[in-house]
Amino acid sequence: MSCHVPQSPLCPISVSSASPGAPQCPPCVTQSVLCVPSVSHSVPPWSLWPLFSMAPLAQTLALPAMTVTTAAITIVRLDMAQKPFDGQNGCGDDKNKLSELKHFDFLKNGSDSSTLTKDQAIALLVYTMKSVYSDFNAAVRTAGNSSQEYQDNFYFKTLHFLLTQALQKLRDPNECLNVSRGVKDVQFDVKLGDKVRFGEFTSLLLDKKVAQGYGADTMFEVHTCHGVDIRKFSFNESEKEVQIPPFETFEVTKVTREGKKVQIELRSTGTVSNDDCEPLKGGSLPRNSPHLGGLLLATVAMAVAVGTL
């Protein structure tokens, strides 16, 4: 017997069973993640991008640039990433009334053990889920094309804003961190002295040995002064994850090539932003939205179980 799982954010594959008595295909449940409706009625109100199961490194660090594929290695130009939406300018407390989240009673009060509000902590947890960050970062990389692109086609406004708030609140202005990231099957084209940024929320690790386990075709050694240790809020606490915001800039201080492998050393030079703080236009999520509610409830349950909230 052969059955086909419907194409949806959580079901991009076909499933076959070998005999008539084999179990039936499990039902597929679609899901939207912290999405905000578009102001344009011609655009679908929820993100329908497939949540592909991808190698986290290549997707996390892939930037909007011309790429050249040679054998199994993809070469990507690392630059100042002009198209991503960073939206940090002028983002203050004027957006604290996030009705998309506030109608859930358990999000109304901040956590006693953290400087973050519960919605900010949950945003960090949600982002570290493998099924979320690849689509989220893909959207971030193009949302800065124009204000219209952001308003009409960027469905992660709430998540982006909460992540930006969370990193700004958790950051210690007197602390810089040395972190690493290993990448498989991708090399980044840079020169000594180049000014670059990742252009998206990027995860690097405090433990270099763990980072090397993800790949060795490109190894990043990064000195960040705006990255934040988020292991307390991550689903992968053992990896000692540091989150770097899209607006932090770096100088390439060293490039070492050994055969087909390259090591790139970056040092923080400050921040840059192409975008003013954009309002959360387009209304709020419906109060009876089952997808968002289910996701948040599941995330909160996990957060309580691991002691984050």
Catalytic site positions = 181, 203, 241
Taking Cα atoms as reference points, which of 47, 63, 81 lies closest to residue 155?
47
CB-count exposure of residue 174 (10 Å: 0-12, 13-18, 19+): exposed
Q: What is the DSSP letter of 245?
A: P
User: Sheet containing 202-205: which strands, arranged edge to edge?
Assistant: 195-196, 248-258, 261-271, 218-224, 177-183, 202-205, 241-244, 228-229
What is the rounded CA–CA span in Å between residue 73 and residue 291?
38
**In this structure, what token pair is assigned to residue 230?**
């988020």
| Whole-number Å distance between alpha carbons of 79 and 139 | 18
Unique residue bearing structure tokens 């990433």: 81
Measure Cα distances from 217 to 73, 186, 198, 241, 260 in Å.
8, 6, 18, 20, 7
